[in-house]
Amino acid sequence: MTLKKTAAGLILLTVMLTGAACSSNQPKSSPSPAATTTTTVAPQATAESQDAVNMKGYIAARIAQEKVEFLFAEAKSADGAFILNPKAADGKEKAVKFLSSYFDTAMVDKLTAHYLTDQKADNAIVTNQKSFFTTNLLATKKEDIAFDASNTKDQVKFTTKDGVTYTTKKVNDKFVVAAVQ
């Protein structure tokens, strides 16, 4: 009988110790050392290198040029004239709004002045067939580009192998084309 009481006592003691160890009352406001280390490392892991930022600026310029092609040089009227793409815009105001996602205001003004004419075909604005861009960025590769050494996380400038310089700047966490020279 003493053996049974001792065994029951040991089992009870083991259960109590196990329960106490599992439900440790560590304060919620002070993180464990492992959590502190993870928190400290995370911001460093999210920091972007300048090379990654440069690529974002370059890719943004490529996408912007592709959108200009889509808007001004893809749709044709029944008689074959290039017209403002009705899928994206049916007038100058909508074209400006569409382009403002990819270019800053000054560049949007230059692009619309270059492409939009006073002529109409099929009830749409006829566009200038001559490209605003002297370099087709869509035909370039990273190896064809020289990035400016003074680039920052908010501005990326690069030059193509044929000497055209693009400047992109960050607006609302996204790069837009600010200049083409």
Instruction: Please report the pLDDT score of residue 19 as a whole number.
Output: 54
How many structural domains are present in the chain?
Answer: 1
Domain assignment of residue 146, yes or no: yes
Instruction: Please report the pLDDT score of residue 25 as a whole number.
Output: 53
Domain assignment of residue 40, yes or no: no
Domain assignment of residue 120, yes or no: yes
Domain assignment of residue 169, yes or no: yes
Domain assignment of residue 139, yes or no: yes
| Tens-digit pLDDT profile for residues 97-128 | 999 999 999 999 999 999 999 999 999 999 99
SS (H, E, C) the chain: CHHHHHHHHHHHHHHHHHHHHHCCCCCCCCCCHHHHHHHHHHHHHHCCCHHHHHHHHHHHHHHHHHHHHHHHCCEECCCCCEECCCCCCCCHHHHHHHHCCCECHHHHHHHHHHHEEEEEECCEEEECCCCCCCCCHHHCCHHHEEECCCCCCCEEEEEECCCCEEEEEEECCEEEEEEEC
Instruction: Please report the pLDDT score of residue 31 as a whole number.
Output: 52
Percent of the chain predicted with pLDDT > 70: 75
Any idea which of 12-26, 59-73, 125-139 has the lowest mean pLDDT? 12-26
Residue 115 belongs to what domain range?
A: 50-180
Averaged pLDDT for residues 45-61: 89
Domain assignment of residue 94, yes or no: yes
Task: Report the chain's mean pLDDT, rounded to a whole number.
Answer: 84
Domain assignment of residue 35, yes or no: no
Backbone angles phi, psi at 142, to 5 degrees: -55, -35
Task: CATH number of the domain at 84, please.
Answer: 3.10.450
Q: Which residue has the higher pLDDT, 11 or 154?
A: 154
Averaged pLDDT for residues 64-87: 95
Instruction: Please report the pLDDT score of residue 23 as a whole number.
Output: 52
CB 129 within 8 A of CB 82: yes
- CA 153 → CA 1, 137, 171, distances in Å? 78, 21, 11
Percent of the chain predicted with pLDDT > 90: 71
119: β partners = none
Averaged pLDDT for residues 40-60: 79
| 39 band by pLDDT with thresholds 50, 70 and 90 | very low
| Tens-digit pLDDT profile for residues 159-178 | 999 999 999 999 999 999 99
- CA 66 → CA 38, 105, 172, 174, distances in Å? 41, 18, 21, 16
Is pLDDT at 16 greater than 70 in this prediction? no
Domain assignment of residue 73, yes or no: yes
Instruction: Please report the pLDDT score of residue 48 as a whole number.
Output: 84
